Amino acid sequence: MTLLSAHNVFKTYRLGRVDVPVLRGATLRVQRSEFVAVLGSSGSGKSTLLHLLGGLDRPDKGSGVEGGSGGAVVYNGKPLSELGASGLDAYRSREVGFVFQFYHLLPELTVLQNVASGAMIRHGLVGYRVNKPKVEAWARELLASFGLGHRLRHRPAELSGGERQRVAIARALVNDPPVLLADEPTGNLDRKTGASILDALLEHRRATGRTMVLVTHDAEVAARADRIVRLDDGLVVTGP
Amino acid sequence: MYQALLIFKYLTSKVMPLLAAAAVMLCTAMVLIVWSVMGGFLVMLLGSGRTLMGDVSITWPVIGFGHYGELIDRLEADPMVAAATPIVETIGSLSLPDGRISMVLVNGIDGPGYARVTGYEDSLWWKPLAAPLPKDKDRRDWRLEDPDGDAGFWKRAYQDGLALSKQDEATGVSRPAAVLGIELSSFNRRDPGGWYQPLHWDVRAEDGSIRLETGPTFILKRTVTLNVIPLTRQGRSVNSVARVLPVANEFKSGVFDIDAKKMFIPLATLQEMLKMDQAGRVAPPIDPYELEIGEDGEETFIEAEPTAIAPARVTSVLVRAKDGVSPEALKDQVRAVYVAFERDHKGQVPHADRGGIHIQTWREAQGVMVAAVEKETLLVLFILWFISLVASVLILAIFWAMISEKTKDIGILRSMGASKGGIAGLWLIYGLVIGLIGSALGLGVAHAIVWNINPIHEWMGRALNVQIWNPEIYYFTLIPSRVRPDHAAIVFAAGVGFSVLGALIPAVRAANMDPVRSLRFE
Ligand SMILES: Nc1ncnc2c1ncn2[C@@H]1O[C@H](COP(=O)(O)OP(=O)(O)OP(=O)(O)O)[C@@H](O)[C@H]1O
Ligand SMILES: [Mg+2]
C-alpha cells in the first residue's frame, strides 16, 4: 500500500532570467514500511525531491508541458496541496522526520533539548508542560538506543560528527513520525562512521518497521535499501 | 514552548541581545532624564510664581495707591478670596557687611499677612529643622542644631523673620529688621545637596576637638544699610533715605534671580522711608512772614492748617484664592471688586479700565517665561519621540542582524513543523523581553541620575570644569531632581512598545523566510 508518493512533480528554480529545471515530472511511490534509496549525482535534485516529499517546499503548479495536470505529492491518499499552511506545519511535525547531511542541530540547546524541541513544537506551551515527563523519557530512550545516553547535557559543538548525526536522527524520531526522510545522512562522515550510522538506522527500522526514504549519491549506501531508484535528468528511473 | 527556551538561550549566550537591551536602556534613560529635568523646571517655575505672588496681584507701580485697607477688607469679604495683603515694591541699594553694595528689589510687607497669601513662611530659611534634608546623609545642615549652644536661636530667628523685627540685645527694644534673599549676601555657601552653610569659624577646644561657631560673619548677627529714593506723587525724586537694619532671617524661594536680588522689610518702615505713609496735606500760608499778634502782645507765625489727609499708599495688593478657585476666575472677581472700590473713590485711586490698574494672575505676570518653557518642553517632547524612533530602528537593525545569523535555525524549526506565526512570535516575544529588561534598567539608571543630578553636576563642575546648569540663566539654584511616576510609566511603556515595534519587521521577515532557502543558508 502506497503511503507517500510524488506524482509527476516539476520543480524549476529561476536564477535571474535563466530557468534551471531540476525535476521534470518525477514520480516516486513509497510503500508503507518500505526503505527506498534515491540515488543520484550531485545536483540532480535529490534534496529538492526530498523537500517536496516532506512538505517543506511545493512542486511547481500546472507546469505540465509534459505532465498536463501538474504534479502532486500525496500522503496517505491525500494531496499535500490540500492541506493549507497549518496542515502542512502539522504534517511536518507529526508525519515526517527530517535528517540532514549537515545535522542542523540548534547550537544553543543541549542534546536532550535538541531532541525534545520537535515535541515542544508539536505540543505547544501548555501541551508540552503536560507531556514533558513522557517526552523526556522517550527522548532519553531514543538517545540511549543510539548510544548517547551519557551525553544529554552536552552542546552539539562538543560532539563528533557521527554523534551529532545520531542526535539529529533521534530528534527526527521524537514525535514517532510514520516516515523518516534522510538527506545524505552519511555524506559528511567518514566511511566507518557513516556505516555505523547506517547500521543504527537499519537496526531502528528492523525494530519499528518505519517507512524510510534516503537520498544519496553513494551506491554503496543505497545498496542497503529495499529498493533503489535513480534520479536522472529530473526523472525517477527504476532499476540499478 | 520552544520559543521560551530559545529566547532564554539566545539571551544568555549572545552579545547581540545585551547590546539591544543596552540601547533600549540608554534611550529610555535619556528620555526620562530630559523629561524629568524639563518638566521639573516648568513645575518649579510655575510654583515659584505662586510662592511669592499669591494668585492675583493688583498693581499700580512706583507711585502706588491709597485706601488699600478698605480694598483688602472688600476683597476678603468675597467668598472666592482666602486672603489679601498689601506690599510696597521699590528698588534700592544695599550695603552689605563686607562692604559690597548691591542693587536690590525691596518689598515692604506685613509679615503675617504676607505669609497668609504667599509661601513666605516656608521660604524662611533659618528655622529649626527636625530631620535632615533627604540628601543630607551626614547631617551637615546647620539648622539641625542651634548654633553656638544658643538654645532656641533658630526658633527666634524664625519668629523674627515672620515678624520682620529684631530685639536689640542691649536695650531689649524690638526694631524693624530685614529678611534677605539667601543668595544676596556672600555669607553662605550653597551645598549641592540643597542646604546652605554659613561662613563659620572652626574653634579648637582645649581637648583638641574642633567646634563650629557662627562667628562674626554670620549674617543674622549683622546689620545692613538700605538706601531708597522716595518719589513724589508726580514721580519726582526726593533726597535718598538710608536706614540701618538688623538682619532677622534669610529666605529661599529657589528662584535664583529672586534669591539673589530680593529683600523684605516691614511695610510701615518702607512706606515711611518712601514717604508713602499717611500724611497731612497743608496749604502753605500766603505770606510766610505774616505774624499774628496775640492779646498779650505775643507774636506768633501763622501755622499752616492741614487741609486734607493723604492716605498711606502701597504699590500692590496680592490676593490668594480659596482652594478650588482658579486664578483666572479669581482675577475676574477681583476686577469686579476693584471696579466697585474705584467707583467709591473716584479720582483718588487708579481707574479700573484699560490702561489703569494692573490686575494679573501669577501666570500672566510670568507669562513670557512660562510660555517659553512650555514651548521648549513641547519641542523636547517632540525630540524625545524622535529618540524613541531611533531606538526602534536600533532594535530593528540589531534584530535584523540576529535573524540573519539565525536563518538556519529558522529553517530547522520550520522543517520540524514550527508555524510562521510561531517564528514571528519567537522574535516578537524576544523583542518584548529585551524591551522589558532594557526599559527597566533605563528607569533605574534615569532615577539614579536624576536623583543625584545636583551632586553629579557639582562633580562635573569640579572635575571636568563643565557647568551646564548656570543658576543665573536657568533661574533656579538647583536642577529639578524628581522623576514623576507617571512619566516613568509612560517612558517604560514606550520603551517596551518601541522595542516590540523594532522587532516587528525582522519578525515578519523571519516568518516569511523560505524554509528550504534558510536550510541552505551558510
Ligand atoms: N533555491 C535555489 N535557487 C536556485 N537553484 C537551486 C536552488 N536550490 C537548488 N538549486 C539548484 O537545483 C539543483 C538541485 O539541487 P539539489 O540540492 O536538489 O541537488 P542534490 O541532488 O541534493 O545535490 P547534492 O548531492 O549536492 O546535495 C542544483 O543545481 C542547485 O544548484
Ligand atoms: Mg542535496
Strand partners, B95: B101, B225
Say if strands A35-39 and A227-232 run parallel, antiparallel, or are unpaired: parallel
pLDDT tens for each residue of B32-66: 888 888 888 777 777 777 777 888 999 998 888 99
Residues from chain B contacting residue A56 (CB–CB below 8 Å): 414-415, 515-516, 519
- pLDDT tier for residue B509 given thresholds of 50, 70 and 90: very high
Give the pLDDT confidence score for residue B475 in this predicted structure.
Answer: 61
Closest-approach residue (CA) in chain A for B410:
A106
Give the pLDDT confidence score for residue B250 in this predicted structure.
Answer: 94
In sign, the C-alpha dihedral spanning B501, B503, B509, B514 is: negative
Give the pLDDT confidence score for residue B76 in this predicted structure.
Answer: 93
Instruction: Please say if the pLDDT value at position A98 is more than 80.
Output: yes
Neighbour-count burial of A32, counting CB atoms closer than 10 A to its CB (0-12 exposed, 13-18 middle, 19+ buried): middle
pLDDT mean across residues, chain B:
86
Instruction: Please say if the pLDDT value at position B477 is more than 80.
Output: no
Q: What is the ipTM of this complex?
A: 0.93
Q: Which amino acid is at B58?
A: I
Give the pLDDT confidence score for residue B373 in this predicted structure.
Answer: 77
Residues in A whose CB is inside 8 Å of some CB of B read 51, 54, 56-57, 85-86, 89-94, 98, 100, 104-106, 108-109, 113, 117-118, 120-125, 128-129, 171
Closest-approach residue (CA) in chain B for A171:
B416
Give the pLDDT confidence score for residue B362 in this predicted structure.
Answer: 84
A181 half-sphere exposure, CB direction, 13 A CA radius: 24
Q: How many CB atoms lie within 10 A of CB A33?
A: 15
- pLDDT tier for residue B493 given thresholds of 50, 70 and 90: very high
Closest-approach residue (CA) in chain A for B418:
A121
Atom 31, ligand 1: residue with shortest CA distance: A43
Residues in contact with ligand 1 by the CB-under-6-Å rule are: A 13, 15, 20, 22, 40, 42-48, 217; B 517
- pLDDT tier for residue B303 given thresholds of 50, 70 and 90: low
Give the pLDDT confidence score for residue A239 in this predicted structure.
Answer: 64
Instruction: Please say if the pLDDT value at position B158 is more than 60.
Output: yes
In sign, the C-alpha dihedral spanning A59, A65, A68, A69 is: positive
Residue B416: which of A85, A113, A117 has the nearest Cβ?
A117
- pLDDT tier for residue B284 given thresholds of 50, 70 and 90: low
Give the pLDDT confidence score for residue B273 in this predicted structure.
Answer: 93
Atom 30, ligand 1: residue with shortest CA distance: A43
Q: How far apart are CA B95 and CA B73, in angstroms?
A: 37
Instruction: Give the gap in angstroms from C-alpha B511 to the nearest C-alpha of chain A.
Output: 12
Report residue B300 as a C-alpha cell.
506768633
Of all ligands present, the nearest one to the C-alpha of A56 is 1
Give the pLDDT confidence score for residue B306 in this predicted structure.
Answer: 66
Q: Which of B364, B186, B183 is nearest to B258 (CA)?
A: B183
Q: Which of B416, B409, B423 is nearest to A171 (CA)?
A: B416
Instruction: Give the gap in angstroms from C-alpha A93 to the nearest C-alpha of chain B.
Output: 4
Q: For residues B394 and B480, is the Cβ–Cβ distance under 8 A?
A: no
CA dihedral A126, A130, A132, A138 (to 10 degrees): -130
Instruction: Give the gap in angstroms from C-alpha A192 to the nearest C-alpha of chain B.
Output: 26
Name residue, grid cell 530630559: B34
Q: What is the pTM assigned to this prediction?
A: 0.71
The torsion region of residue B348 among left (phi > 0), alpha (psi -120 to 50) and beta comes to alpha
Judged by CB atoms closer than 8 Å, whether chains meet at A89 and B413 is answered as no
Atom 26, ligand 1: residue with shortest CA distance: A42
Judged by CB atoms closer than 8 Å, whether chains meet at B516 and A85 is answered as no
- pLDDT tier for residue B464 given thresholds of 50, 70 and 90: confident
Q: For a ligand 1 pocket test, name from A22, A39, A99, A217 the mutation site with the most ligand atoms within 8 angstroms of its C-beta.
A: A22
The residue-averaged pLDDT of B208-235 equals 82
Q: How far apart are CA B180 and CA B247, in angstroms?
A: 7
Instruction: Please say if the pLDDT value at position A64 is more than 50.
Output: no
Residues from chain B contacting residue A50 (CB–CB below 8 Å): none
Percent of chain A whose pLDDT exceeds 70:
95
- pLDDT tier for residue A67 given thresholds of 50, 70 and 90: very low
Strand partners, A24: A10
Task: Give Cα separations from B277 to B108, B231, B238, B273 (angstroms).
Answer: 12, 12, 15, 9
- Please give the distance, rounded to the nearest whole angstrom, from the Cα atom of residue A47 to the centre of ligand 1: 7
Q: For residues B27 and B441, is the Cβ–Cβ distance under 8 A?
A: no
Q: Which residues contact B479 (CB under 8 A, 6 or more apart)?
A: B37, B40, B453, B454, B457, B469
Give the pLDDT confidence score for residue A178 in this predicted structure.
Answer: 94
The radius of gyration of chain B from alpha carbons, rounded to an integer in Å, stands at 33
Q: Which of A114-128, B22-36, B458-472 has the lowest mean pLDDT?
A: B458-472
Residues from chain B contacting residue A57 (CB–CB below 8 Å): 514-516
Instruction: Please say if the pLDDT value at position A236 is more than 90.
Output: no
Residues from chain B contacting residue A169 (CB–CB below 8 Å): none
Q: Which of A136, A229, A122, A79 is nearest to B417 (CA)?
A: A122
- With vertex at residue B17, the alpha carbon angle to CA B11 and CA B23, rounded to the nearest 5 degrees, is 145
Atom 24, ligand 1: residue with shortest CA distance: A42
Q: How far apart are CA B517 and CA B522, in angstroms?
A: 10
The DSSP annotation for B108-128 comes to EE-HHHHHHHSSHHHHB-SS-
The DSSP annotation for B411-451 comes to HHHHHTT--HHHHHHHHHHHHHHHHHHHHHHHHHHHHHHHH
Which atom of ligand 1 lies nearest, measured to the CA of A50?
18
Strand partners, B321: B81
Higher pLDDT, A5 or B302: A5
Closest-approach residue (CA) in chain B for A116:
B2
- pLDDT tier for residue B348 given thresholds of 50, 70 and 90: confident
Instruction: Please say if the pLDDT value at position B117 is more than 80.
Output: yes
**Residue ranges with strand state E in A118-224:** 179-183, 211-216
Give the pLDDT confidence score for residue B474 in this predicted structure.
Answer: 62
Residues from chain A contacting residue B514 (CB–CB below 8 Å): 57
pLDDT tens for each residue of B391-434: 888 889 988 998 898 899 999 999 999 999 999 999 999 999 99
Residues from chain A contacting residue B3 (CB–CB below 8 Å): 125
Residues in B whose CB is inside 8 Å of some CB of A read 1-6, 9-10, 13, 408-409, 411-420, 422, 514-516, 519
Residue A56: which of B3, B409, B515 has the nearest Cβ?
B515
Give the pLDDT confidence score for residue A62 in this predicted structure.
Answer: 59
Neighbour-count burial of A160, counting CB atoms closer than 10 A to its CB (0-12 exposed, 13-18 middle, 19+ buried): exposed
Higher pLDDT, B292 or B144: B144
**What letter would DSSP give residue B345?**
T
Instruction: Please say if the pLDDT value at position B289 is more than 90.
Output: no
The residue-averaged pLDDT of B119-146 equals 86
The residue-averaged pLDDT of A134-162 equals 90
- pLDDT tier for residue B14 given thresholds of 50, 70 and 90: confident
